[in-house]
Structure 1
Amino acid sequence: MRRETQNVLLVLLGGALLKIGLTGDYLRYVKPTHQPWLVGTAAVTVALGVVAIVRDVLVARRAVVDHAGHEHHARSAWLLVLPVLAVFLVAPPALGADSVRRDAAAGAVQGAQRPESPFPPLPDDDVVPLSMTAFVTRAGWDPADSLVGRTVSLTGFVVHADGEVMLARLVIGCCAADASPVRVRLVGEAVEELAEIPEDTWLTVTGTLVPGTAIPETGYRPDLTVLTVREVAEPADPYEH
């Protein structure tokens, strides 16, 4: 690949990273705390590319190559621009229901052993808003059963599997590559209506925990008796951390 092509690709790559880092698209790839590192890396990449281009222009170096070979080589090298342009033009969707089903099919069970960490007390609100992770963790590992008898509010996307309706959320430790699902099975009279809702639709659901459902046989996936359902927009950050 010619130096000119390398330098232009470096600028384009840095520009693509800046775009996803400054527009919020980075949340589909990494955690929010990674944004400064992503933007910093992008700025350095752009700077390196610009410095290299300016240096080559000032020095005015011109390679002597066979005309036919030059034309073919440059044309092949510029094909590498396509993946960079794809980052500029296409924002991939966040991982969703298909990722949850594939994880379940692989037999992944979260939490093989119960930790002994304490949980902070829940607020006294009539409806307690919780993350999916907090709800699933308390349901499976809280010896005080603090969720029993409490109405909670959960936000996640719909997953249909084996005739059941689940609310799910994907949790990432570093980036989308290590995403793992947390799931809650929805039960009650409202489930018949939920069965008609398309997968990956985002909902805020209120309900109560069905005691004794977050057990090893269910992979510590609790059941929630649904009280109310409200369709919502996908959050700016679709993942939990």
Structure 2
Amino acid sequence: MKKTYLQQIKRLLFFSFVFVLFSLNANAQTSESIEKPEKEFKNTIHFNITNPLIFGGKSLIFGYERVLKNNQTFSINIGQAGLPSFNFVNDAEFKSNTILSEGGFHLSGDYRFYLSKLNKYNAPRGVYIGPYISHNTFDKKHSWQYQPDDAASLTTVESDMNIKINQIGFQLGYQFVFWKRFSVDMILIGPGIATYKIKADIGGNLSDEDRQKFLDKLNEALKDKFPGYDGLDLDGEFQKKGTVSTTSFGYRYMIQIGYRF
């Protein structure tokens, strides 16, 4: 059974918390004073390893973090976003034929306050909190073969989908530094408010009933991939028009590896 997006998030979150707890125990602070490293590196280049694991190898996002004060930084992330495969690929009725085109874009930023009373070292090392904002665009044009149970021949169906997600929220994270130069940055909790704008155009000789059946399957697949989209009351808008624009819960979770300079 394939794991859903939310199941993958929960699993990564659990192991991240365990990792942080062990680190905090091993590096317990004996004094409330902040110790400065021998040499301060104010810049860090990050690579997001969460998105490729969940959304596939086409999601390549890089980040940059800059130290402003001993306990404050800002960071930006930019890169290529990819839309993952859906659960109904190779369904009994709909079978994947060809991906005609796909692409996407990610841009996000945050401001971080590293908690002096909890951290032994200056930023960017230790526990941090702060606001964030993000934008994601996904595009995918796909060709399908559709054969209902009562049909003898196949029908070619093309879907053209665009998803835009804008989100703002507040996050809690922890950043480890190893050998002064290397880092592992984990955003552990990042609830927020997100606006979802989703459009799906379906081409092909389909009846209204078959078109709605495809959109129903697509709608269910989106619920598995995007936290906050699940459980929305769409009032039939998506099934009838193939478009929806709404505001709901969003979530940010990320693990990055970095190099300091």
Report the structure, 1 or 2, having the larger helix content.
1
Where is the strand percentage greater, Structure 1 or Structure 2? 2
- TM-score normalized by structure 2? 0.20
Greater C-alpha Rg: 1
Q: What TM-score does the superposition give when structure 1 sets the normalisation length? A: 0.21
